[in-house]
Amino acid sequence: MLNTYYADLHVHIGRSRSGKPVKITGARTLTLSNILEMASSVKGINLLGIIDCHVPEVIDEMEEMLAAGEMIEHPEGGLWYQNVCLLPGSEIEIYDENCKGPVHVLSFFPTVEKMKHFSLYLRGRMKNVTLSSQRIYESAHNLQRVTKELGGLFIPAHVFTPHKSVYGKGVKSSLSEIFLPELIDAIELGLSSDTNMADGIEELRQFPFLSNSDAHSLEKIGREYQTIQMEKPTFAEFKLALINKEGRRITANYGLDPRLGKYYETTCAKCSAFIYEEKGMKCAECKSTAVIRGVRNRINELSAKPVTPTDRGERPPYIHQVPLEFIPALGPKTLQKLRDHFGTDMAVLHDIEEKDLRTVAPQAVVRHILLAREGKLSLKAGGGGTYGKVAQQQI
């Protein structure tokens, strides 16, 4: 029987079990065990991609958890911990001779053993395999082929962000300048774009879209995610869902309204003022010509024509989701009360009725949660590395 599961496939590890840094910009509390517990018991995520599993100490910890019976390796791929299935992944930075700038990609594998082989491959091609998102001294094509030879999935990451992404930094106009399109399994949109924006780029219409959190702290897990129809959350079932086979499919993408993303608008790199490109690329405030290109303008530049429902085909809906941490007046104490009463963030965001929410949270908080569900919150756009904001509504 097919069921619906929540999936977030881009979560970083901040520190190893011994306290050594993995993702230097990640929180110290982002350990493997803390991530699994948070995703399973608090966030309500069923399929979890941790993308620093190539690090040798993380591999050791996964093997120790398997040996102790704390996790179980499923025959169809993936590591089961309580209510969540971990997909071992790796984020890698590519900058080969075909790149205009550095590009991040994700590779996922079904087993720890496959990840060990991949880590060994990386070790000979990067300076520090103990850290996240390190540059590989290898061509993108070869990295794609090795991923496939090991039975993995290859996914370009946050493809529009102005730093370290394929369209933001890596290519002039087409991902085929770097990648072999036939060896790409999906496209990760990133926080400042959505399906409607990305479908304006004709070459992307052949790929499924993923909306993931790129979490650098425990609370950020699940700020973007997707619902997937599968028999169970495993690597093999996820692979089927990416190609819409045997009833397995992505049923919806849930992500920030792109205006809440931190790279939506073009901004001045010097004073952070918005720059409206139709008026030129010089800052009206400080006259600087150094800019951080916004995702909205970059996608408009790449889009051949306006998107119609026919172009979009059978894409799942993209639902603008406001994470609980963005809800005005929702402090940590009320958030904990909601979790204590209703279990997980997914339950609060999707399932709990208004009358039940009101037994736990103040009227203003409940109203903002309901407005978020309906997509009716007023937003202030972000850019240049600063997130957008939700404006507090009159209740």
Q: What is the pLDDT of residue 270?
A: 92
| Rounded-to-integer distance, Cα 38 and Cα 36, Å | 6
Residue 310 has pLDDT above 60, yes or no: no
pTM of the model: 0.93
Cβ partners under 8 Å of residue 109, min gap 6: 87, 88, 89, 115, 118, 150, 151, 152, 235
- Residue, of 78 and 390, whose pLDDT is higher: 78
Asked whether the beta carbons of 211 and 192 are under 8 A apart, the reply is: no
Report the pLDDT averaged over residues 254-263.
Answer: 92
Q: Which CATH number fits domain 3-255: 3.30.565.10, 2.40.160.60, 1.10.3720.10, 3.20.20.140?
A: 3.20.20.140
Q: How far apart are CA 272 and CA 284, in angstroms?
A: 11
Checking DSSP bridges between strand 84-94 and strand 135-136, what pairing results, if any? parallel
Residues 6+ apart with CB under 8 A from 279: none
Q: How confident is the model at residue 311 (pLDDT cuts 50, 70, 90)?
A: low
Share of the chain above pLDDT 70, in %: 97
Average pLDDT over residues 302-315: 66
**What is the DSSP track for 280-291?**
-SS-TTT----E
The answer to whether the beta carbons of residues 191 and 159 sit under 8 Å apart is no
Structure tokens at 12: 């970083």
| Element spanning 292, H or E | strand 291-292
384, 336, 393: which is closest to 363 by C-alpha?
393
- Is 224:254 a contact under the CB 8 Å cutoff? yes
Mean pLDDT value of segment 325-344: 90
Q: What is the pLDDT of residues 353-389, one digit of tens each?
A: 999 999 999 998 999 888 888 878 888 899 999 998 8
**CA–CA separation, 184 and 148 (whole Å):** 10
Banded pLDDT at 391 (limits 50, 70, 90): confident
- State the DSSP code for 348: H
Q: What is the DSSP track for 198-267?
A: HTTSGGGGGS-EE----BSSGGGTTSSEEEEEESSSSHHHHHHHHTT-TT-EEEEEEE--GGGSTTSB-E
- Phi, psi values for residue 326, rounded to 5°: -90, -10
Higher per-residue pLDDT: 334 or 308: 334
Tell whether the model's pLDDT for residue 91 goes beyond 60. yes
The predicted pLDDT at position 372 comes to 83
Q: Give the model's pLDDT for residue 395.
A: 58
Dist CA 94 CA 321 (whole Å): 31
Digit-coded pLDDT (tens) for 114-165: 999 999 999 999 999 999 999 999 999 999 999 999 999 999 999 999 999 9
Q: Are 372 and 325 in contact (CB under 8 A)?
A: no
Is the Cα torsion angle 264, 270, 272, 273 positive or negative in sign?
Answer: negative
Query: Beta-carbon neighbour count of residue 67 at 10 Å?
Result: 9
Q: Is residue 280 packed enough to be buried (19+ CB in 10 Å), middle (13-18) or exposed (0-12)?
A: exposed
The answer on pLDDT for 263 being more than 70 is yes
Q: Which of 251, 198, 190 is nearest to 224 (CA)?
A: 190
CA-CA distance, 71 to 59, in Å (whole number)?
13
Query: What is the predicted pLDDT for the residue at 307?
Result: 56
**pLDDT at residue 313 greater than cutoff 70:** no
Residue 18 has pLDDT above 80, yes or no: yes
Q: Which two tokens stand for residue 288?
A: 């600087």
Query: Does pLDDT of 52 surpass 60?
Result: yes
Q: What are phi and psi of 210, to 5 degrees?
A: -115, 140
Domain boundaries, the chain: 3-255
At 276 the pLDDT is: 87
Backbone Cα Rg of the chain: 21
CB 144 within 8 A of CB 100: no
Is a pLDDT exceeding 60 seen at residue 312? no
What is the model's pLDDT at position 327? 86
279 DSSP 8-state letter: G
Average pLDDT score over the chain:
93
